[in-house]
Structure 1
Amino acid sequence: MSLLWHFATTAAQPLIPFWLRRRAARGKEDPARLEERYGRGADRPEGQLVWLHGASVGESLSLIPLIEALAERLPNAHFLLTTGTVTAAKLAMERLPEALRGRVRHRYAPLDTLTFVARFLAGWNPNAAIFAESELWPNRLLATKHVRVRMALVNARMSQASFERWRRWAPGLARRMLKSFTLVQPQTSADEARLRGLGAKGMWPSGDLKLSAPALPHDPQALAAMRHDGPVFLAAQTHPGEEAVVAEAHGLLRARHPGLRTIIVPRHPDRGAELAAALGATRRSLGEAPGALHIADTMGELGLFYRLADVALVGGSLVPHGGHNPMEPARLGCPILLGPHTHNFAERVAELLDEGAARLVTPADASALAAAVDDVLLDPVLATTMTTAARQLAERTTGTAARLADEIANWLRPDTTQPAPETEQEHTSP
């Protein structure tokens, strides 16, 4: 199967320039940096280099605490961060601490053809490679293994649907890729079971690397400017089908909370104009003063809106998307509401519900959502209890980045030999 993928991607190479130019025309590629997608543009610094790859925003941001922890342990090392999207590149480099920016270089990841990946590896010659979540690309992984670079798969995810597809269509290829990792650190016990089922070795205890990240940042001046005398209900990272429910719930709540402001942060800000027109709402991207219903169609400001909110719905959970990270509002002391679709963070959600740190909105309709918001707004004791429980849980579940950094730093010490990935021992404790 790996040969079939190699031949298919090689055959597709003549079409790639046209495909990249089309993506660039739609704003999905940086037109000034298309060469990086071919594996070109290497500018390797002297000394040790750790390559970290996160495809999109969530994956790349989850790597920042690991970069920080590795930088402490490897004071002379440099880091190469690759991403697959323009937005991820922008946010990841913005979120890097100022002190690290001279040690971290960003490039767009080479597309998964053997020619591009081999060119990238020859130019950058990394000493270790770290991939986030579910980045299983055959040419990239097998070529990196071929040049004997140790690899880690961190914050690893394997959904049931992906597991079934790999098991049915390419079990041998999945096994080869997963066995190429020296270390596999799954997010949850369910991910661990599925990864083991496909042949992963070198397994670490589960843990969510995103929980090691600092609280989402904010602009204090913007926070002061947006303070509101009445209650604020936030719907964060919403998807199509959710905004109409939120707007209807807002209408129901206004009868009891006439000063209520509802802020909707769409997962994809480019939907802002469409949503504002449909809901009769103001838009932050246009600099409009917030109305009773406000669309926050900007990037990188979620920390601001969680700090403004008296209660927040985590989006992607009213529709079958699976929900977004509920620990982001938990860290910021914001009472959390969740719809019934939370499979992306099932274990974290179960812990939040067990601790009384979150409430489930079911059925996923406007009446149930309005009732849940109403309960929190009318009961300060309930709101405080939820906030305290959420903060305590967030504090207990940190530390994954430090443990991983200890292990990976050991790979780069001069006295550390490099066994073949297949012979790595299981890690029963970090």
Structure 2
Amino acid sequence: MSKGLARIALTGYRVVGVLAYPLTGGYLTYRAFKGKEDRQRRLERFGYASQPRPFGPLVWMHAASVGETLAVIPLIREFGRRGIHILLTTGTVTSAALVENRLGNEVIHQYVPLDVKFAIKRFIRYWRPDVAITAESEIWPTTIAELTRRHIPQIRVNARISDRSFDRWKGFGGIAEQLFGKMALVVARSDVDAERFRDLGAWPVTVSGNLKGDTDPPPADQSAVDAYLAQIGNRKTWAAICTFDGEETAAATVHKALKPRNGQLTIIVPRHPERGDEIEAGLVEQGLKVARRSRGDVITPDTDIFLGDSIGEMGLYLRLTEVSFVGRSLTAEGGQNPIESAMLGCAILSGSNVQNFRETYQQLIRKGGARMIRDTEMLAKAVHYLLNNDIARRNMIDAGQEAIQDMRGALSATVKALEPYINPLAVSAALQPKTAAQ
């Protein structure tokens, strides 16, 4: 696609956004009804601020959902130590709850505005960010255009691009060049990601490694951990976490196959907790007894499934087991982050569809901390083996934690790459009075 056609296509995208703007209110109302939007803060999606802008330099950081938010927490705290205000936007109710739990007043949180000219102009005009930093992979053409028009540097950190996305962008090379070429800097997770961003027109591009390797283990309420461990008693446990549709059924099949031999408790933590009712109905239909975290149910000796349908409590669930199957990898594609499981002492199992976390799994598998499974039958065999072989399980846990140690260092590499943009803001922050003003 030529540059001329690319410009026409991007102009068309922005025009369609303007024309569709009157319909977005109804769309967001529907999403709020489905539990996917915060009804009380819906105006933030139209660029209306719900908090005052602090006085002094401000970095706008965007993290689409939970995984991206977790990845940038160490970077946010590094900026905070330098006196720089952080405006953090996210796109999901789940990630907003995580920000409240993990960061509290360390950041100003807003829901990300729609990628429509009226909303994003209003947002940028109010917040006046000095730098805009996006985590990982989202591309919003109107936002890029408006930031470019105001000469606000746009930086992408922990940047990755999946096989599918790369192939799609390559088919629209002119558009990709118009968008990726607007970035002031890309800090990629891997050499492969870096090369892909360069091919799409981004420059300069550096490599940092995965920021998620520098995060802290997810926290947990120790009293809740102790209470559930007491309820579980001597039963063996395994967890299927970050599951997508179909993977809960696979976990139930594994549970029924192994229960006569192991009497185990199976913990299922869906990627989207709002699916709790649907998942429970399917499990009960299979004759399984379910205890739900959201209801405060007690785990009894005849409980088959502990359903972790709560937000921001992965640290609790992973502290109840030493065997973790990480979902979106068996019946869905892309994979989910296995780092938290490794950090909290779990032997890791996964399906083979982990394109979005390829490098992480390669390092874990190379060390011996993770194993790939092909299907439900192989998953059942692997779970049974790990539940009954203490030495093998312990070796996998140790190998996973060693792999995590090897992954560390991305934070310092990212900070070093960002210094030309951040150091002037830190100096400005040090010279500014500390009073807040709009």
User: Within 1, Cα distance between the matches of 2:166 and 2:326?
Assistant: 26
Unaligned runs of 5+ in 2: 1-8, 427-438
Equivalent of 1:342, from 350, 354, 358? 354
Partner residue, 1:14: 22
Q: Deviations 1:360-405 (Å, cap 9, x if unpaired)?
A: 222x12x311211122122211111111111111112122223322
Q: Flag the structure with higher helix content.
A: 2
Equivalent of 2:248, from 223, 243, 263? 243
- The alignment yields a C-alpha RMSD, in angstroms, of 1.8
- Secondary structure at the aligned position of 1:107 is classed as strand
Equivalent of 1:87, from 67, 87, 94? 94
Q: CA deviation at 1:131?
A: 0.4
- In 2, are the aligned partners of 1:127 and 1:412 still within 8 Å (CA)? no
Equivalent of 2:331, from 296, 303, 319? 319
- In 1, are the aligned partners of 2:67 and 2:337 still within 8 Å (CA)? no
Question: Which letter does structure 1 place at the counterpart of 2:179?
Answer: M
Question: Which letter does structure 2 place at the counterpart of 1:201?
Answer: W
Partner residue, 1:255: 260
Deviates more, 1:141-150 or 1:12-21: 12-21
Equivalent of 1:3, from 5, 11, 23? 11
Equivalent of 2:114, from 107, 111, 125? 111
- In 2, are the aligned partners of 1:209 and 1:400 still within 8 Å (CA)? yes
- In 1, are the aligned partners of 2:60 and 2:131 still within 8 Å (CA)? yes
- Secondary structure at the aligned position of 2:246 is classed as coil
- In 2, are the aligned partners of 1:338 and 1:358 still within 8 Å (CA)? yes
- Secondary structure at the aligned position of 1:354 is classed as helix
Change (3 A) 1:202 1:219: same
- Secondary structure at the aligned position of 1:350 is classed as helix
1:160 paired to 2:157: no
Q: CA deviation at 1:161?
A: 1.7
Alignment of 1:145-294 (within 5 A): 145-168=148-171, 170-227=172-229, 228=232, 229-258=234-263, 260-279=264-283, 280=288, 281-290=290-299, 291-294=303-306
- Secondary structure at the aligned position of 1:337 is classed as strand
Equivalent of 1:354, from 361, 366, 369? 366
Q: Deviations 1:13-41 (Å, cap 9, x if unpaired)?
A: 22222222222233222222222222222
Q: CA deviation at 1:61?
A: 2.3
Q: Deviations 1:277-301 (Å, cap 9, x if unpaired)?
A: 2223222222222213221211111
User: Within 2, Cα distance between the matches of 1:15 and 1:224?
Assistant: 49
User: Within 1, Cα distance between the matches of 2:223 and 2:355?
Assistant: 36
Partner residue, 2:412: 402
Partner residue, 2:3: none
1:307 paired to 2:303: no
Q: Tell me how many residue pairs correspond in the alignment.
A: 406
Question: Which letter does structure 2 place at the counterpart of 1:183?
Answer: L
Equivalent of 2:385, from 351, 365, 375? 375
Q: CA deviation at 1:206?
A: 4.5
Q: CA deviation at 1:251?
A: 1.8
Q: CA deviation at 1:225?
A: 0.6
Q: Deviations 1:325-377 (Å, cap 9, x if unpaired)?
A: 11111111111111222222111111111111112222x12x31121112212
Instruction: Give TM-score scaled by structure 1 length.
Output: 0.90
- Secondary structure at the aligned position of 2:340 is classed as helix
- In 1, are the aligned partners of 2:159 and 2:187 still within 8 Å (CA)? yes
Q: CA deviation at 1:409?
A: 4.1
Partner residue, 1:424: none
1:53 paired to 2:58: no
Equivalent of 2:143, from 140, 149, 161? 140
Question: Which letter does structure 1 place at the counterpart of 2:88?
Answer: L
Q: Deviations 1:184-225 (Å, cap 9, x if unpaired)?
A: 122233322322221111111151122221101111001101
Identity across aligned pairs (percent)? 38
1:39 paired to 2:47: yes
Q: CA deviation at 1:261?
A: 0.8
Question: Which letter does structure 1 place at the counterpart of 2:278?
Answer: E
User: Within 2, Cα distance between the matches of 1:383 and 1:151?
Assistant: 44
1:26 paired to 2:31: no
Partner residue, 1:425: none
- In 2, are the aligned partners of 1:231 and 1:310 still within 8 Å (CA)? no
- In 1, are the aligned partners of 2:347 and 2:370 still within 8 Å (CA)? yes
- In 1, are the aligned partners of 2:322 and 2:345 still within 8 Å (CA)? no
- Secondary structure at the aligned position of 2:205 is classed as coil
